[in-house]
Amino acid sequence: MKHSKSNQSITDPILALRDCKSAFVGVFIASALVNILYLTGSFFMLEVYDRVLPSRSIPTLVALCLLALLLYAFQGAFEMVRGRMFVRIAGALDEALSGRIYRAVVQAPLKLRTQGDGLQALRDFDQIRSFLSGSGPAAFLDLPWLPLYIVICFMFHYWIGTVAVIGSIILITLTFFTNRGTQAPSKRAAEAGNQRNAFAQSSQRNAEVMQAMGMLGRMSQLWDLRNTTYREQNRETSDVGNGYGVLSKVSRMALQSAVLATGAVLVIEGSASPGIIIAGSILTARALAPVELAIGNWRGFVSALQSRQRLKELLTALPERDAPLELPVPKEKLSAESLAGGPPGGQRLTFAEVNFSVKAGSALGVIGPSASGKSSLARALIGIWPSYRGSVRLDGAALDQWDSDRLGRHIGYLPQDVELFSGTVAQNIARFAADASAEAVVSAARAARVHDLILKLPNGYETEMGEGGTALSAGQRQRVALARALYGDPFLVVLDEPNSNLDAEGEQALTEAIMGVRARGGIVIVVAHRPSALAATDMVLMMSEGRMQAFGPRDEVLAQILRKQNRPPQIAGAASLKVVGEGQESAS
């Protein structure tokens, strides 16, 4: 099934299956034929007891056996077709929504308040897909045929039909209580599992710290608490589901025996033939088998429903829109107008009332004490954190007027915590673009002054980074990430603590890279802690307690700050920068 553009606007995963209407029609037809053919066993036994045994006719038995074998073959074929169609329906769902689910997983931490490891949406999607491709849907499709079997039981005899109805009521009641009993525990188990996985991932990321500072024992105790909670919730869900499953199984077996006993009484009284005893028992067992199977699959069904609801809420909160009109390449200025923002989810504002404008060819240094909102501002300037008031504009156009992928071509970003992707150095620099040219990759590396460093790696640009870029040192990762930020000559380059892991040579390369962006008419925003990062800037914005305290030419702003601190007005050179940067730490 080809990906439909209309699937981008779907918020309910089940609606993504609307292109599978013909497949569902085929499934219903196959289910009808399977359930009709399930009557083969009952009628075969009826004919054997009522026709073959009294007549002692071997040819009749052979003919019945051949006919039954043929019908069983058709039944098996239709069941196989139905199972394969469910697998392909699940595959169609995956093809239709997997891309959007992935984008939602990536965007959720940037726009919503998320909990756990952030991968719950993927697990939910897998749960729905697994349920669709399992035995659960077949059991639920067989349930509507229960009345047909009961009607045939009544055709055998009134009392056999009555016993079948009583058994159906018992099993349907058990199904109702299974649903009520498993919903809450299943939801709690999913939440506990999410927290457990998040803790495990956090521990893995901080393995070095835990090992070095002897935290492994205590963290193991915390893990045991979370794992115990998950185990207990999972056990409660399993106990409830298994309990009702056993009850349904025992009830069906008892009912089958009751039908045999009823048939025996009827035969003794001369109200029914001996074949009805066996045929009625088989037919009743078949009539109630889907109910028992549905109870056995009920936990998966409830989990799939809860997964669907969570995905529906996520996709509703993160709607995808059609790409807006493609705007011209920005080349004039960046401006922030009464800008206020903070973390996703509307938790709190970390900065407010920020107003400034930077023209092409300028580099703006953002300085301030710890938790002053510097990094939050940097994230808002490139649209990865929400702006709750005001706007950010490139050449007069607000960021929401751009398609995110197209906007990304004009933006370079170096975060505080650098993490590269598994792949080659060249792929990481090129942002994994399929049409990246060698010239563009090398040009970005040269702009970041990292070309010679890359050539010294074991395989040069084809060196595998490893997951998270672990094959490189922290300083090397930061310089490769700088090259990635400069790939494609973006108009706006935002660098958040770009020299935190750099040596003197790396800092000189950083300064030259910033000057290179300015020389080609780009704009650089540098969130600075170490004052050497401001060497190539011509503008400075001072933040404090989430407010813009000063903005203007670098030397003027630094002189103003020095006067407020009652320090000598030494503005020129690195010495003045050192005084201003003294005591500053990384942003919130």
- Return the HEC string of 412-431: EEECCCCCECCCEHHHHHCC
Amino acid 7: pLDDT:
52
Q: Is residue 323 part of a domain?
A: no
* 31 and 90 assigned to the same domain: yes
How many domains are there within the chain?
3
The average pLDDT across 111-139 equals 79
For residue 432, give its domain range: 422-489
* 146 and 261 assigned to the same domain: yes
* 585 and 446 assigned to the same domain: no
In contact, 335 and 356? CB cutoff 8 Å: yes
From 17-21, 123-127, 138-142, 224-228, the region with the lowest mean pLDDT: 17-21
In contact, 412 and 403? CB cutoff 8 Å: no
The average pLDDT across 263-284 equals 78
Helix (H) or strand (E) segment spanning residue 332 = none
Percent of the chain beyond pLDDT 70? Answer: 90
Closest CA to 120 of 39, 201, 61, 15: 201
Mean pLDDT for the chain overall: 80
Closest CA to 354 of 396, 391, 401: 391
Whether residue 547 has pLDDT greater than 60 = yes
* 444 and 581 assigned to the same domain: no
* 477 and 400 assigned to the same domain: no
Whether residue 69 has pLDDT greater than 90 = yes
In contact, 490 and 329? CB cutoff 8 Å: no
Q: Is residue 502 part of a domain?
A: yes
CATH assignment at residue 53: 1.20.1560.10
CA-to-CA distance for 226 and 198, rounded, in angstroms? 10
* 33 and 105 assigned to the same domain: yes
Query: Helices then strands (H, E): number in the chain?
Result: 21, 10
Higher pLDDT, 510 or 198: 510
Per-residue pLDDT of 520-541, as tens digits, reads 999 999 998 766 778 889 899 9
- Please list, residue by residue across 137-167, b when 16 or more beta carbons sit within 10 angstroms of its beta carbon and e when fewer do: bbbbbbeebbeebbebbeebbebbbebbbeb
Whether residue 159 has pLDDT greater than 80 = yes
Confidence class of residue 40 from pLDDT cuts 50, 70 and 90? confident
Closest CA to 531 of 577, 487, 499: 577
* 376 and 501 assigned to the same domain: yes
Per-residue pLDDT of 434-473, as tens digits, reads 888 899 999 999 988 889 888 988 888 898 877 666 677 7
* 176 and 265 assigned to the same domain: yes
Closest CA to 240 of 178, 170, 297, 174: 178
The average pLDDT across 198-223 equals 74
Confidence class of residue 567 from pLDDT cuts 50, 70 and 90? low
Confidence class of residue 494 from pLDDT cuts 50, 70 and 90? very high
Whether residue 324 has pLDDT greater than 80 = no
* 524 and 570 assigned to the same domain: yes
Closest CA to 315 of 58, 103, 80: 103
CATH assignment at residue 546: 3.40.50.300
Amino acid 334: pLDDT:
92
Residue bearing tokens 């045991």: 224
Q: Is residue 194 part of a domain?
A: no
Whether residue 89 has pLDDT greater than 70 = yes
Whether residue 39 has pLDDT greater than 80 = yes
Confidence class of residue 572 from pLDDT cuts 50, 70 and 90? very low
Amino acid 315: pLDDT:
82
Amino acid 363: pLDDT:
92
Amino acid 525: pLDDT:
93
The average pLDDT across 25-54 equals 85
Percent of the chain beyond pLDDT 90? Answer: 10
Q: Is residue 207 part of a domain?
A: no
| Last residue of one domain, picked from the residues 455, 489, 523 | 489
The average pLDDT across 402-419 equals 85
* 458 and 310 assigned to the same domain: no
CA-to-CA distance for 527 and 377, rounded, in angstroms? 9
Amino acid 368: pLDDT:
85
The average pLDDT across 349-363 equals 90
CA-to-CA distance for 152 and 164, rounded, in angstroms? 10
* 12 and 60 assigned to the same domain: yes
Interhelix angle 216-268/158-205, rounded to 10 degrees, is 170
Measured from the Cβ of residue 2, the count of other Cβ atoms closer than 10 Å reads: 7
Whether residue 108 has pLDDT greater than 60 = yes
| Last residue of one domain, picked from the residues 489, 522, 543 | 489
Whether residue 502 has pLDDT greater than 80 = no
Whether residue 123 has pLDDT greater than 70 = yes
* 256 and 404 assigned to the same domain: no
Residue 325's alpha-carbon distances to 321, 401, 403, 496, in angstroms, are 12, 8, 8, 30
Q: Which of 162-176, 242-256, 417-431, 481-495 has the highest mean pLDDT?
A: 481-495
Per-residue pLDDT of 1-16, as tens digits, reads 444 444 556 677 777 7
575: tokens are 């010495």
Per-residue pLDDT of 361-393, as tens digits, reads 999 999 888 888 888 899 889 888 888 888 899
Confidence class of residue 584 from pLDDT cuts 50, 70 and 90? very low
Residue 147's alpha-carbon distances to 169, 245, 284, in angstroms, are 12, 22, 11
Using DSSP, state whether 536 is helix, strand or coil.
Answer: coil
Q: Is residue 195 part of a domain?
A: no
Amino acid 47: pLDDT:
82
| Residue type at position 22 | S
Q: Is residue 210 part of a domain?
A: no
